[in-house]
């Protein structure tokens, strides 16, 4: 028998939360994001932006252009109305560099309050940097290196982990620099280098560079298309420094005609690409990171994370994402809680010696093992693979997504997904198949009911994979269960055996 897994602390076990919203008044865009709840892995249920260009006049005139401000007020009024209709009583409303630095910034904030009834919090450069860094740290547990958040009017840089970070805080040194694309059009590498020199702590820092901001995400999408990368999920897209330096240098040199030929990028973003690429290139040269990592989480997610109580902040974002997904899609909501943990504990003897990262992915696969039951039987594997590959999970890299997709594919006996297979190596693919076949056996044997699996047990004994079944449940053993057991044993290169309890 498998020992019952202790009940984990989860978002669902804590007090439920109402929808939360962030209105971000930036130098380039004004955006509303509504989250399903203020949880460790908040799921966006509405996301809209308007590219107003509030900061495009800062360098030349020092104020917010009237037409840009008018467009922003229209967008904010819409967002305020949506929040009221969604019963969101206190959306988080923040303004960044453009409003912070503009001569008419205070007047703009006062007009927002008068028109829309919203209190705008104008973030200092340090507050903006810390919130963005909190978003990255929340999405990349254990992040170490430098976070850069490139807005239209400024660049926020923060050290993550070590090198000046406080003992109980991953956020270390930080600086705000006037290197946003709206200010840097036509700027030179020398000018960027001179600005970056103000942050002496950047030089040779190493670690990874975590890039936040819509224009850097646009650059990543272009690289994905050029490389014919199999997965079009920009979050956690990774490039080795040398490749990122070469690509950013090329993009920084593009002229208007070349930019016009780039498909699938918002025209308002295109003009900012060379300046954004130049800043990225000079940062990579100065920091010398191992990798460039793209983060879809930043300021908005960081603001939400900062408001969470410590017990929520300490949860694993991937596992909480999977628990929430399972509760919404599985036959039994307990797959998002005790049953998922039961499955992971039941098969653990087959994976003796796994490291913490492997154990974490195996638990995630267990939580996702029933996500396609509502689909037509002929399409369950396809539905499960697509749902896993493209779900809005965080705290997971692309090979991890590939692993989970291959595991649920094996659980549903589907044809191997070429996209998922391209993301993992041989060892990961083999391990994913074994996890998936164990889940297939468990779900068939138990009928998806909690408790039955925990009463049984798996064991590797010599060259045998042994399935122990208590006497009270012997009737659950049929030909289908036996075939599932044989398939699992063969995946381990072993013979299968059943040990039936006497009473």
Whether the per-residue pLDDT at 62 is higher than 80: the answer is yes
Q: How far apart are CA 65 and CA 57, in angstroms?
A: 6
500 three-state secondary structure: strand
What is the distance between the alpha carbons of residues 213 and 280, in angstroms, rounded to a whole number?
Answer: 11
pLDDT for residue 120: 97
The per-residue pLDDT of the chain, averaged, comes to 90
User: What is the rounded (10 degree) CA torsion for 7, 12, 16, 18?
Assistant: 160
The class of domain 126-301 in CATH terms is: alpha beta
Condensed to tens digits (0 to 9), the pLDDT of residues 136-146 reads: 999 999 999 99
Query: What pLDDT was estimated at residue 11?
Result: 58
Structure tokens at 137: 């740290």
Same fold flag, 20-123 and 126-301: yes
**Residue 44 dihedral angles phi and psi, to the nearest 5°:** -70, 130
What tens digit of pLDDT does each residue of 187-208 get? Answer: 789 999 999 999 999 999 999 9
- Contact by Cβ (8 Å): 71, 108: no
Choice among 143-157, 171-185, 285-299, 323-337 with the minimum mean pLDDT: 323-337
The predicted structure's pLDDT at residue 169: 52
Q: Residue 466, CB half-sphere, CA atoms under 13 Å: how many? A: 13
- What's residue 267's pLDDT? 74
203-212, 261-270, 290-299, 390-399: the lowest-pLDDT one: 261-270
Quickly list DSSP for 20-84: EEEEEE-SS-EEEEEES-SSSSPPEEEEEEE---TTTTHHHHSS--HHHHHHHHHHHHHHHHHHH
The CA distance from 236 to 177, in Å, is 25
pLDDT band at 3 (very low <50, low <70, confident <90, very high): very low
Identify the CA nearest to 27 among candidates 74, 66, 69. Answer: 69
Regarding the domain delimited by 316-500, which CATH topology (the fold level of the hierarchy) does it fall under? Hypothetical protein af1432 (1.10.3210)
Specify the pLDDT at position 285. Answer: 97
Per-residue pLDDT, 185:
66
Percent of the chain at pLDDT exceeding 90: 75
| 377-421 pLDDT, tens digit each | 999 999 999 999 999 999 999 999 999 999 999 999 998 889 999
CA 328 → CA 35, 176, 321, 324, 370, distances in Å? 16, 41, 11, 6, 11
CB 210 within 8 A of CB 143: yes
Confidence at 166, pLDDT banded by 50, 70, 90: very low
Token digits for 346? 């039941």
If you classify domain 20-123 with CATH, what class do you get?
alpha beta
pLDDT in tens, 300-343: 999 999 999 999 999 999 999 999 888 888 776 656 567 899 99
**295 vs 283: CA distance, rounded Å:** 16
Q: Determine whether 352 is exposed, middle or buried from the number of CB atoms within 10 Å of its CB (0-12, 13-18, 19+).
A: exposed
| Distance, CA of 35 to CA of 39 (rounded, Å) | 9
pLDDT band at 6 (very low <50, low <70, confident <90, very high): very low
pLDDT in tens, 77-116: 999 999 999 999 899 999 999 999 999 999 999 999 999 9
Vertex 261 angle, CA 284 and 243, to 5°: 25
Task: Write down the residue that tokens 């912070």 correspond to.
Answer: 100
The mean per-residue pLDDT over the stretch 216-231 comes to 95
Rounded mean pLDDT, 467-496: 96
Find the helix packing angle between 214-227 and 273-287, rounded to 10°. 90
Q: Do residues 414 and 385 touch, judged by C-beta distance below 8 A?
A: yes
- Locus of tokens 């003796």: 352
Domain borders along the chain are: 20-123, 126-301, 316-500
H or E element, residue 211: strand 208-212
């Amino acid at each position: 028998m498998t020992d019952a897994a202790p009940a984990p602390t989860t978002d669902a076990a804590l007090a439920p939360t109402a929808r939360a919203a962030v209105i971000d008044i930036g130098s380039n865009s004004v955006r509303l994001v509504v989250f399903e709840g203020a949880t460790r892995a908040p799921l966006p249920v509405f996301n809209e932006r308007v590219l107003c260009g509030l900061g495009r006049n800062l360098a030349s005139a020092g104020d917010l252009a009237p037409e840009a401000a008018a467009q922003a007020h229209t967008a904010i009024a819409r967002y305020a109305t949506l929040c009221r209709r969604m019963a969101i009583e206190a959306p988080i409303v923040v303004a960044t560099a453009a409003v912070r630095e503009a001569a008419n910034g205070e007047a703009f904030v006062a007009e927002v309050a008068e028109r829309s009834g919203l209190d705008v919090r104008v973030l200092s450069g340090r507050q903006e940097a810390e919130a963005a860094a909190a978003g990255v740290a929340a999405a990349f547990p254990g992040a170490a290196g430098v976070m850069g958040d490139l807005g239209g009017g400024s660049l926020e840089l923060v050290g993550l982990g070590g090198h000046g970070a406080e003992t109980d805080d991953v956020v270390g040194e930080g600086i705000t620099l006037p290197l946003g694309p709206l200010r840097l059009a036509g700027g030179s590498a020398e000018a960027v280098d001179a600005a970056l020199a103000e942050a002496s702590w950047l030089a040779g820092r190493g670690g990874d560079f975590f890039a936040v901001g819509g224009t850097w995400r646009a650059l990543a999408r272009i690289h994905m298309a050029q490389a014919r990368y199999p997965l079009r999920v920009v979050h956690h897209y990774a490039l080795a420094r040398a490749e990122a330096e070469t690509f950013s240098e090329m993009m920084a040199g593009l002229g208007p005609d070349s930019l016009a030929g780039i498909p699938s990028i918002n025209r308002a973003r295109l003009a900012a690409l060379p300046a954004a690429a130049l800043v990225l290139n000079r940062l990579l040269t100065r920091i010398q990171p191992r990798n460039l990592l793209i983060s879809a989480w930043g300021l908005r997610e960081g603001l939400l994370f900062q408001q969470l109580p410590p017990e929520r902040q300490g949860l694993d974002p991937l596992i909480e994402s999977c628990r929430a997904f399972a509760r919404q899609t599985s036959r039994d909501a307990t797959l998002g809680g005790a049953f998922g943990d039961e499955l992971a504990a039941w098969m653990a003897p087959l994976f003796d010696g796994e490291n913490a990262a492997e154990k974490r992915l195996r638990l995630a696969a267990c939580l996702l093992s029933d996500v396609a039951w509502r689909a037509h039987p002929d399409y369950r594997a396809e539905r499960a693979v697509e749902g896993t590959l493209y779900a809005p999970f965080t705290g997971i890299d692309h090979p991890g997504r590939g692993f989970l997709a291959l595991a649920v594919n094996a659980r549903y006996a589907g044809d191997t997904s070429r996209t998922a297979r391209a993301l993992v190596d041989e060892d990961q693919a083999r391990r994913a198949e074994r996890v998936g076949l164990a889940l297939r056996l468990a779900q068939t044997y138990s009928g998806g009911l909690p408790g039955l699996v925990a009463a049984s047990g798996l064991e590797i004994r010599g060259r045998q994979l042994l399935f122990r079944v208590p006497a009270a449940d012997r009737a659950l053993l049929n030909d289908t269960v036996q075939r599932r057991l044989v398939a699992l044993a063969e995946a381990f290169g072993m013979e299968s055996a059943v040990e039936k309890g006497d009473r």
